[in-house]
Amino acid sequence: MQFKEKQSIYQQIAEYMYEQVLGGKWPDDTRIPSIRDMAVQMEVNPNTITRTYTLLQDQGIIYNQRGIGYFTTAHASEVARVQKKQEFIQTFLPEVFKTMASLNMPVEELEALYRDYMTQNKGRLYENK
């Protein structure tokens, strides 16, 4: 995984894990890689993964079953969707709206672009991640 400099590594790994849940690769109530396995996969210190897993446990995405391992929660996909939607609304939409206003771009144009995008990418939203 290529890490960006502007965001902490544990948060970038959490984003990756969100993608796994939202993309259906880690369905609800599914065992996920151990801290050690994930550290090897991501090529990071296990302490970084521990921090990521703690964050995701606090958010209700994963849980630890002592002696067995980590699992996605029964409602991980819904919790992840709500979390990411809230983040999108608070972080990205204001910038999109600001840009649209400066370009005098009507909402209808954005809506049409969104519909076209969804038509062209149906079923492939998480393929390359």
Residues 17 and 39 both lie in one domain: yes
Question: How many domains is the chain partitioned into structurally?
Answer: 2
Q: What is the pLDDT of residue 4?
A: 85
User: Is the residue at 63 inside a domain?
Assistant: yes
Residue 16 has pLDDT above 80, yes or no: yes
With H, G, I as helix, E, B as strand and everything else as coil, classify residue 100: helix
User: Is the residue at 1 inside a domain?
Assistant: no
Q: Residue 18: count other Cβ atoms within 10 Å of its Cβ.
A: 22
Q: What is the mean pLDDT of residues 69-92?
A: 96
Which domain covers residue 70, as residue numbers? 9-76
Residues 59 and 21 both lie in one domain: yes
User: Is the residue at 127 inside a domain?
Assistant: no
Residues 15 and 70 both lie in one domain: yes
Token pair in block for residue 91: 């972080």
Q: What is the pLDDT of residue 129?
A: 41
Q: Are the C-beta atoms of 56 and 14 separated by less than 8 Å?
A: yes
User: Is the residue at 126 inside a domain?
Assistant: no
